[in-house]
Chain A
Amino acid sequence: MAATGISESPAEATPRTTPAALELRGATKEFRLRRSRTVTALASVDLAVGNGEFVALLGPSGCGKSTVLRMLAGLDTPTRGEVLVNGGAPAELVRGHRLGIAFQEHALLPWATAYDNVALPFRVAGRPVDADRVNALLSLVGLEGFTDARPRQLSGGMRQRVAIARALVLQPEVLLLDEPFGALDAVTRRRMNFELARIWADQQITTLLVTHDVDEAVLLADRVVVLTGRPGTVRHVEDITLPRPRDKALTRDAEFHDIVDRLTALLDEGAE
Chain B
Amino acid sequence: MSRSESAVVEGPSAGQHPVGPGDGTAPRADAEDGGKQPRRALLHTLSRTLSRLLSRYWTVLALVAAWAVWVRTRQLNQIVAPTPAAVFGDVLGHPGAYLPDLGWTLLNAAVGLALGLVLGVTGALLVWASPLLSGLMTPMALIMRSVPVVAMIPVIARVVGFGITAVLTVTTVVSFFPVFVMAGSGLRAAPAATRDVFTVLAATRLTRLRLLLLPHAVPAVLVGLRLTASTAVLSAMLAEYLLGTHGLGLLFARSVTFMDPARAWGTALVATVVSVLCFVGARAAERLGSARFS
Binding site for B on A (CB under 8 A): 70, 73-75, 94-97, 99, 101, 103-105, 107-111, 120-121, 123-126, 166
Contacts and interface: CB of A to CB of B under 8 A. Distances in A.
A107 B216 CA distance: 13
Interface on chain A toward B: helix, strand, loop, or mixed SS? loop
Interface string B194-217: 101111111100010001100100
Contacts of B215: 109, 111
Interface of B: 191, 193-194, 196-203, 207, 211-212, 215, 292-294
B196 A101 contact: yes
Contacts of A108: 194
A124 B201 contact: yes
A124 B203 contact: yes
Contacts of A121: 201
B294 to A, nearest CB: 5
A248 to B, nearest CB: 31
A89 B188 CA distance: 28
30 contacts: A73-B196, A75-B199, A94-B199, A94-B200, A94-B202, A95-B202, A97-B201, A99-B200, A101-B196, A101-B197, A103-B193, A103-B197, A107-B191, A107-B194, A107-B197, A109-B194, A109-B212, A110-B293, A110-B294, A111-B215, A111-B294, A120-B201, A121-B201, A124-B198, A124-B201, A124-B207, A124-B211, A125-B201, A126-B207, A166-B197
A211 B193 CA distance: 17
A120 B197 CA distance: 10
A73 B292 CA distance: 31
A70 B199 CA distance: 11
A152 to B, nearest CB: 8
B293 A111 contact: yes
Nearest to B212: A109
Nearest to B207: A124
B202 A125 contact: yes
A110 B201 CA distance: 18
B201 A103 contact: no
Closest 10 CB pairs of A and B: A107-B193, A105-B193, A124-B201, A107-B194, A111-B293, A103-B193, A124-B203, A101-B200, A107-B197, A94-B202
B211 A105 contact: no
Contacts of B191: 105, 107
B293 A74 contact: no
Contacts of A126: 207
Contacts of B198: 124
